[in-house]
Structure 1
Amino acid sequence: MSGAKFISSYGRYFFLSNIPRVESKPPILRNFIKANLFKPTFQSQAQVKFTQQTRSFHNTSISKFINVYNYNFRNNYSTLKKALIFSGLFITATTVLTPYLFQIPPFNYFKSHPTHLVYTLVGINCAIFGLWQVPKFWRVLSRYALLEKNQMYSSWSAIGSAFSHQEIWHLGMNMLALYSFGTSLVHIIGVENFTMLYLNGAILSSIGSIVYPILFKIPISAASLGASGALFSVFGAFSYLIPHAKIMLFVFPIPGGAWFAFLGSMVWNLSGVFLKWGKFDYAAHTVGGVFGVMYAWYLKEKSDRQRAKRLHSYGFR
């Protein structure tokens, strides 16, 4: 239902019937509601036909209220259901099709140049960041490259948001991490496994971001975007497979190596999840990191079984 139709249909009476719930909201929102919605003139304005005057009113106070109310105080289970179905189909498709994808041109190029796959991912992220700087692309990007957790315009935003950055520092930090861990990891696990790790880690971290406010019964405060969830998958897999690799925090070495650094980052993320501090999407980071470790464990177990099978075929026990 459009905002103008909503106003003309229910008007003042809808909001008056919700006074007890309004009183339970935070003081800033409660004061805004009382100041803007319970004025005596609100009823007459609500009954005006859908003219330019109504459009102007809708785009100011009432539009702001409806967006704030719905966006912050409704945990949408239909969005979660939609995202879960899409993610299940997406993960199935990537798992089944990715090995075949790298057998055909031009993707087979990456099998002999695995590092260039990481460079390509960096390039895609940089290209989408460039599009964010052009206002005419904002409408499309907000639909497909921004994860709205209360009501998604498109299920593709669950994966599109993982390639999207609006601020240069966010892009820079994430791409530095992708380059640092990805260029080594892709040689170890191969381009097929790296692609599945990155894409599936990205979409699962989006699911974690949607589940978090529902599970903890907290308001949805902002949409999400960024490659951090996928990068924690890469970081988790890297640290599991190469636990003693040296890690630098800027110019300072982290004692204990990659595995110790990863565990420290997960403690930080879990603290953010339970203590609800800061503005980072700690739930997405946590899910991405856990998936990365699980996927690396699976690859290691698979490799060990294959090695044992080969040794057995040569007569070794």
Structure 2
Amino acid sequence: MTMAICYLFAQNYKTPKRDERMWPNTPPAAATVMALIGINLGIFLLWKFPPAWRTLNRYFIVTSLYPYGASIIGSAFSHQKTVHALVNMAALWLMGTKGSAGDTDLPAQVHDDIGRGNFLAIYMASGVLSSFTSLAAHVLAGNLRYTSLGASGAVCGLVATWLMVRSNDVFTFYFLPRELDEIVKARGSTILAAVVGFEIISILSPWKFTRLDNWGHLGGYIAGAASGYALKARMEKDRRKKRSWWGNLTE
């Protein structure tokens, strides 16, 4: 049901005109991401308020022993630890408002690259599939003491979407010195394969060096990659429609 709603939202979302926006002087990408960060921050602060714990434990954290359906959604906006929240929100901000695609003339913002409707739908769908994947994996493994929350799965979905849409483009890393730009770079498909491979290796490895929710991340990447594949196909179809009949014949 949630996935269907996300799909319908992405397909039917209409970008509001400037005078219809709540913050007309704020770039759309920043407004979208700030709204998501605001929701996450609000729930984070509620975890510091004991009277809210009963509701939060039911709807904003996934527990494998006694899961609630709504918690699969709510957990994608929920953080208890400051570092966890800061890392995920920083990643969300960078993915939503920043970006680099190497030497190609591409939009610098992931949000503007795929559109607000798709951005929000993929955030939600990836967060839901991430939570469900993590829950299912731990229940099947008999780990009934497991709990999960956080926006990392949703962020992973956005990362995978963009890398899939830009799978053939060469990415550089802006935090590296300029002299390394020509050396350290990779195609979007290569980066996506690397991050997914890391999660799979971490799941299969008998040694756990971190406490990352690898199953949740993997679910987010799967949702994002599938979304990116569909978006790329639609973008290519739209691009072909805009070509002249002569361009199609001579391609």
For this structure pair, what is the TM-score category when the shorter chain's length is used for normalisation? 0.7 to 0.9
CA distance in 2, matches of 1:299, 1:156: 28
* 2:7 aligned to which of 90, 95, 105: 95
For the pair 1:305 / 2:230, whether they are aligned, the reply is: no
The residue number in structure 2 matching 1:21 is none
CA–CA separation in structure 2 for the residues paired with 1:231 and 1:120: 15
Please list every run of 5 or more consecutive structure 1 residues that lacks an aligned counterpart in the other structure: 1-88
Q: How far apart are the structure 2 equivalents of 1:192 and 1:313?
A: 31
Pairing partner for 1:186 from 111, 125, 131 = 111
- Counterpart amino acid of residue 229 in structure 1: G
CA distance in 2, matches of 1:105, 1:150: 47
Show the counterpart of 2:40: 125
1:136 paired residue among 22, 45, 51? 51
Corresponding letter in the other structure for 2:126: G
Which has the bigger relative contact order, CA under 8 A and spacing at least 6?
A: 2
| Bigger Rg, structure 1 or 2 | 1
Question: What TM-score, normalized by structure 2, do the two folds share?
Answer: 0.79
**1:158 corresponds to 2:72:** yes
Deviation at 1:308, TM superposition (A): 1.4
By how many angstroms is 1:127 displaced?
1.0
CA contact (8 A) 1:237 1:292 kept: yes
Counterpart in the other structure of 2:100? none
Corresponding position: 1:266 with 2:196: yes
Whether the aligned pair in 2 keeps the contact of 1:232 and 1:289 (CA below 8 Å) is yes
Are 1:227 and 2:140 matched, yes or no?
A: no
1:113 to 25, 28, 35: 28
1:160-205 CA-to-partner distances (Å, cap 9, x unmatched) read 0010000110011101110111221110011111111111011011
Contact 1:247 1:257 in 2 (8 A): no
Question: Counterpart in 2 of 1:236?
Answer: 160
User: In structure 2, do the counterparts of structure 1 residues 129 and 251 end up closer, same or farther at CA, with 3 Å as the change threshold?
Assistant: farther
Shift of 1:238: 2.1
Distance 1:130 1:290 in 2: 30
Task: Name the residue aligned to 1:168.
Answer: 82
Per-residue deviation, residues 192-245 of structure 1 (Å, max 9, x unmatched) = 111111110110111111221244x34234200000110100111122334433
State the match for 1:295 in structure 2.
Answer: 227
TM-aligned CA deviation for residue 296 of structure 1: 1.0
Q: Please give the root-mean-square deviation of Cα atoms over the aligned residues, in Å.
A: 2.9
Structure 2 unpaired stretches of 5+:
98-108
What is the total number of aligned residue pairs between the two structures?
226
Change (3 A) 1:313 1:115: farther
Q: Relative to 1, partners in 2 of residues 1:185 and 1:103: Cα closer, same or farther, differing over 3 Å?
A: closer
Contact 1:177 1:231 in 2 (8 A): yes
Which one of 190, 206, 211 corresponds to residue 279 of structure 1? 211
Letter in 1 for 2:78: S
Partner of 1:203: 128
SS of 1:245's equivalent? strand
Q: Using the aligned pairs only, state the percent identity.
A: 25
Q: Distance in 1 between matches of 2:52 and 2:234?
A: 44
SS at match of 2:172: coil
Q: Helix, strand or coil: the match of 1:150?
A: coil
Q: Indicate if the aligned counterparts of 1:118 and 1:178 stay in contact, CA closer than 8 A.
A: yes
- C-alpha separation in 2, matches of 1:135 and 1:279: 26
Secondary structure (helix, strand or coil) at the match of 2:72 reads: helix
Out of 236, 256, 266, the residue aligned to residue 185 of structure 2 is 256
Question: TM-score normalized by structure 1?
Answer: 0.63
**What amino acid does structure 2 have at the position aligned with 1:151?**
Y
Matches of 1:231 and 1:250, distance apart in 2: 22
1:101 Cα offset (Å)? 5.3
